[in-house]
Structure 1
Amino acid sequence: MDDNTRCPTSRITRQFFEEVEIRVMDWPALSPDMNTIEHLWDELNRRVWARNPVPSSVEELKTALLEEWHGIPQETVKKLIRSMKIRLQAAIRARGGNTDID
């Protein structure tokens, strides 16, 4: 599943998915993003770039990503899961359009 942004729909990405036989779901353009993992990716991104010093090589980045991923509190994950009811209600109110839910 992807959100139709450039990265997952680029030609090179589509070719890679075909080569490794990853099936991608069709997803409507401009649909609301209800996937809570996006919020975890954002948390991970902030944690990695807040490091001092920031990673300056691929190996440092891999290490930082793993360390920070394991450092995200389970309460953060649980909070995102618990937020789904509110997110779905907001999407219904917005008739599938944008919501103000973070």
Structure 2
Amino acid sequence: MLYAEWEMPLKFTFQHDNDTKHTAKLVKEWFGANKIQVLKWPLQSPDLNPTENLWEIIEKQIRTKIISNRAQLFKEIDNAWKLMDPAIISNLIGSMPNIHMSKSN
């Protein structure tokens, strides 16, 4: 959440996938105490989640690598992330209002 505080406008809306670990009472209380608005999001909807699209891009980038252990996997993911064109991330984030509006109509 610190990244959001540094990089986002003064007011932002947080989005998560409604997994039970994100909707636990303690988490909801923390969001409330920190005055963080949470976007209402349907359960089991990876097509709406830009994070899922980002993981797909990273997976395509590392698919050809020979990975023999967990440490190597994390290293390749980290490398793919560092090489990611910021415009891709901006486009994914920018598509959210359009996706959300098309699904809510």
Aligning the two structures, in what range does the TM-score lie when normalised by the shorter sequence?
A: 0.5 to 0.7
CA deviation map 1:38-85 (0-9, x unaligned): 11111111111133xx21112211211110111111010011111112
Distance 1:31 1:60, change over 3 A: closer
C-alpha distance 67-90 of structure 1, shift in aligned 2 (>3 A) = same
Divergent runs of 4+, >6 A = none
1:78 equivalent to 2:90? Answer: yes
Aligned twin of 2:57: 43
TM-score normalized by the length of structure 1? 0.57
Counterpart Cα distance in 2 of 1:72 and 1:78: 11
Question: 1:25 aligned to 15, 23, 26, which one?
Answer: 23
Pick aligned residue for 2:76 from 64, 67, 77: 64
Letter of the structure 1 residue corresponding to residue 64 of structure 2: A
**Which one has more relative contact order, counting CA pairs under 8 Å at least 6 apart?**
1
Structure 1: runs of 5 or more not aligned: 10-22, 94-102
Q: Which amino acid aligns with 2:22?
A: V
For the structure 1 residues 75 and 28, does the alpha-carbon distance in structure 2 shift closer, same or farther, using more than 3 Å as the test? Answer: closer
Which blocks of at least 5 consecutive residues in structure 2 are unaligned?
A: 1-15, 25-40
The number of residue pairs the alignment matches comes to 74
Q: Distance in 1 between matches of 2:95 and 2:50?
A: 9
How far apart are 1:28 and its partner, in Å?
A: 5.4
Which stretch shows the higher mean deviation, 60-69 or 32-41? 32-41
Aligned residues: CA RMSD: 2.6
